[in-house]
A and B are shown apart, each in its own frame.
Chain A
């Protein structure tokens, strides 16, 4: 069974695990509510839709608010579907679902880096700093000459970097604090602080 929850990245810190200091990201995950249920017969697939972060009705537009009104549920800012997850409409989902999971994967939108060169964007080596070098961070050759007579599609070049949906897999769960809806995972998580993230159990 898939286990997932929606949350927010609060920031990073370090905690002692035994004698060792480990870098952790603090996520506020849940409490979420099951706002919709998809079934094989009706929708062609099994899933539940989770709502996160309760908002006032005036914060949503009429079509958004109408969905919740029809089901007589409280209103949520974020909605996301999880395939093959269990739950009935109105059920609460908290961080306790990760009690038995050793690892989680976290997805979110990464930080925007703007228009970036090939060194930052693709990890090119750059040019020599000395010996009469003609540039420092230029890409160099982008292909052969008359044959093939074109630049191959998908060739790494400078361009916009960041603001991508990014998933970091297999982050170890260091600690779960159910009373505060917090979950501490080892390592980093995409995006800036206060970023909306999706946490799923397992690698």
Chain B
């Protein structure tokens, strides 16, 4: 088992910012169009962080023209270039799937109060 973890270690990203469920993040995604490559930004609320180690993924939800859009990103994928944390959310659940059923202002996660 340790030997397998050592192999995985090589492929893990080291500079992942500390972000959690409920935070608002900007995900910089590499997009390949034929030979060209560009970076697209996907900004939204983190609903879930799942699995562990090399297989870890996170789900981001945003509203696009009134339609909810969710994307699941592999955390350690080279396609995810950068993750920026915009806002810290104050939540009491590990998974925020209940946000899917909310309409309007109710789907906004409260911002975390900074510790004084």
A positions within 8 Å CB-CB of B: 10-11, 13-16, 18-19, 21, 26, 28, 177, 180, 182, 184
Contacts and interface: CB of A to CB of B under 8 A. Distances in A.
A14 B54 contact: yes
B3 A18 contact: no
B16 to A, nearest CB: 15
A15 B11 CA distance: 7
A67 to B, nearest CB: 31
Q: How large is the interface on B (under 10, 10 to 19, 20 to 34, 35 or more residues)?
A: 10 to 19
A11 B6 CA distance: 13
Contacts of B76: 16
Contacts of B30: 19
A26 B54 contact: no
A111 to B, nearest CB: 19
B55 A182 contact: no
Q: Is the interface of B mostly helix, strand, loop or mixed?
A: helix
Contacts of B79: 19
B4 A15 contact: no
B77 A13 contact: no
Nearest to B53: A13
A18 to B, nearest CB: 7
A45 B102 CA distance: 75
Contact of B7 (A18, A19, A26): A26
A107 B77 CA distance: 32
A13 to B, nearest CB: 5
Query: 3 smallest A-B Cβ distances: which pairs?
Result: A16-B11, A19-B78, A13-B4
B78 A184 contact: no
A11 B54 CA distance: 15
A13 B54 contact: yes
Contacts of B77: 16, 19, 21
A10 B4 CA distance: 8
B67 interface: no
Contacts of A10: 3-4
B74 A15 contact: no
B49 to A, nearest CB: 17
A26 B55 contact: no
Contacts of A16: 11, 54, 76-78
A18 B74 CA distance: 14
B106 interface: no
30 contacts: A10-B3, A10-B4, A11-B1, A13-B7, A13-B8, A14-B8, A14-B54, A14-B55, A15-B8, A15-B11, A15-B54, A16-B54, A16-B76, A16-B77, A16-B78, A19-B30, A19-B77, A19-B78, A19-B79, A21-B54, A21-B55, A21-B74, A21-B77, A26-B3, A26-B4, A26-B7, A28-B3, A177-B7, A182-B7, A184-B7
Nearest to B76: A16
A118 B69 CA distance: 44
Interface string B47-68: 0000000110000000000000
A184 B11 CA distance: 14
